[in-house]
Amino acid sequence: MRLQIKNIRIVDPSQKKDSVGDIFAENGRIVSKLSSSADKVIDGKNKIAVPGLIDVHSHLREPGQEGKETIKTGTRAAAKGGITSVLCMPNTKPAIDNAPTVEFILLKAQKEGIVNVFPVGCVTKSSAGEELSEIGVLKKAGIVAVSDDGSPVSNSQIMRRALEYTKMFKLPVISHSEDKELSKSGVMNESKNSMILGLRGIPKQAEEVMVARDIMLAELTGGYLHIAHVSTAGSVELVRQAKKKGIKVTAETCPHYFTLTDDVVRVYDANTKMNPPLREIKDVEAVKVGLADGTIDCIATDHAPHTAEEKNKEFDLAPFGIIGFETLLSLVLNELVDKKVLSLSGAIEKMTHNPALIFNLEGRGTLKEGAIADITIIDPKYSYEFTKESILSKSKNSPFIGRKFQGGAAITIVNGKIVYTAIRD
């Protein structure tokens, strides 16, 4: 397949490029010119081409929880959101703590998936927190990082060993930073709102204590630490100071943490329940400052599908998590770029170049010649309301249903092939 994208604004942070031109792809790679005429020509007028978006934090639920999501449905939802690569967390059933499960996911992704899937392996066997998983074997099978996401690695000694051991494989350890004793039985942020609602709160310190611990252990070991879903002003400051000291730590946040506060929990909607929970306006502002000053490297979705039956319970009993693939790009454009928190290039960098660097995804996150032809074409003028009916994910647990957006993915290209085109009049 020979592809030409004509006359398009190209924004590629990896090359500090923002200019109008053509993009050519042949045999799944970016090339400077095609060997013969194009099979497909895309008109780039009024559109923007960026490297394919990489979501470094998602839950595809397969194997084991196919009622919530599958690789097939999840990757379709991702493609619609302009995402060309996803890292998928290991809290599946069985957990990704063995080579056959990694192989199963890679094979399924190849057969039924339409975007690239990069599995994350468990830090500890079954993510039970007791014994390190066979990380070397998992690395050979194809994982790009380790995490016990969904749970923290509570035992500091095990976290130390994980950071030490993964160093030789250059595998980042993704920290779901939560002190389980402090968060125990909490269902939302601990604040005035939790008091008014009579819901048990999760203090910000439940996150920050573990961010601080893991930074100390990264300093001790020289390991590669990546902090997942940063939600508080205190966590942002801890990462900022650690980076100043030269400690190898990177961090991600998610659109809901720079868009919503725990005020929205007041309607008792379980689609506003996730872990870590929505915080307060000063945290939202601090997360934005952290994005702007480079403290936070990545914007990821933490796409966490749960069925309607599960979410339609009392707030207390509903599971934590919201979907995110289909709203990522629009939220970044409307909440960060339009509001001048980040430039377009600065925002795209956190979903392309930075993820590729942190997780060693060679040939991705860039539109340089020779790179893999993963490309997202943005339509900045596309206005729409995000409706439940439009959701491609198997689960519909989004707090953004009913929100109006301007700007989204028009065409998503993975390995040189068009995997999603918006049908719009």
Ligand X SMILES: NC(=O)N[C@@H](CC(=O)O)C(=O)O
**256 known member of a binding site:** no
Rule CB under 6 A: is residue 150 a binding residue for ligand X?
A: yes
Interface pick for ligand X out of 50, 274, 318, 367 (rule CB under 6 A): 274
Question: Taking Cα atoms as reference points, which of 387, 326, 336 lies closest to residue 82?
Answer: 326
The site for Zn ion (CB under 5 A) is made up of 149, 176, 302
Residue 301 binding target from Zn ion, ligand X, none, CB below 5 to 8 Å by type: none
Question: Taking Cα atoms as reference points, which of 124, 128, 203 lies closest to residue 162?
Answer: 124
Interface pick for ligand X out of 169, 315, 320, 384 (rule CB under 6 A): 320
Hey, CA dihedral for 129, 275, 364, 62, is it positive or negative? positive
**226 known member of a binding site:** no
Nearer to ligand X, 150 or 186 (CB): 150
Q: How far is the CB of 302 from ligand X (least distance, A)?
A: 5
Rule CB under 6 A: is residue 321 a binding residue for ligand X?
A: yes
Rule CB under 6 A: is residue 394 a binding residue for ligand X?
A: no
Token output for 328? 């990522």
Pair type for strands 298-299 and 249-253: parallel
Distance CA 367, CA 13 (A): 9
**306 known member of a binding site:** yes
Rule CB under 6 A: is residue 173 a binding residue for ligand X?
A: no
Task: Count CA atoms closer than 13 A to 25's CA, side-chain side.
Answer: 24
Site string for ligand X, 78-107 (x = CB under 6 A): -------------x----------------
Q: How far is the CB of 66 from ligand X (least distance, A)?
A: 14
Hey, CA dihedral for 189, 299, 180, 396, is it positive or negative? positive
Interface pick for ligand X out of 22, 26, 148, 149 (rule CB under 6 A): 149
Residues in the chain: 425
Nearer to Zn ion, 161 or 176 (CB): 176
> Could you give phi then psi for residue 331, rounded to 5 degrees?
-65, -40
Neighbours of 3 (CB within 10 A): 23
**Total residues contacting ligand X (rule CB under 6 A)?**
11
Rule CB under 6 A: is residue 315 a binding residue for ligand X?
A: no
Q: How far is the CB of 338 from Zn ion (least distance, A)?
A: 27
Residue 163 binding target from Zn ion, ligand X, none, CB below 5 to 8 Å by type: none
Token output for 19? 């200019």
Q: How far is the CB of 302 from Zn ion (least distance, A)?
A: 4
Rule CB under 6 A: is residue 275 a binding residue for ligand X?
A: yes
Active site (annotated) includes residue 302: yes
Q: At what angle do helices 204-221 and 156-167 cross, to 10 degrees?
A: 50
The residue annotated as part of the active site, out of 297, 302, 374, 379, is 302
**155 known member of a binding site:** no
Distance CA 167, CA 94 (A): 26
- Dmax (CA) for the chain in angstroms is 67
Question: Taking Cα atoms as reference points, which of 269, 265, 219 lies closest to residue 241?
Answer: 219
Question: Taking Cα atoms as reference points, which of 316, 301, 277, 311 lies closest to residue 388?
Answer: 311
**2 known member of a binding site:** no
Rule CB under 6 A: is residue 59 a binding residue for ligand X?
A: yes
- Mark the binding-site residues for Zn(2+), compressed into ranges: 57, 59, 149, 176, 229, 302
- Would you name the residues annotated as active-site residues? 302
Question: Which residues would be at the binding site for ligand X (CB under 6 A)?
Answer: 59, 91, 149-150, 176, 274-275, 302, 304, 320-321
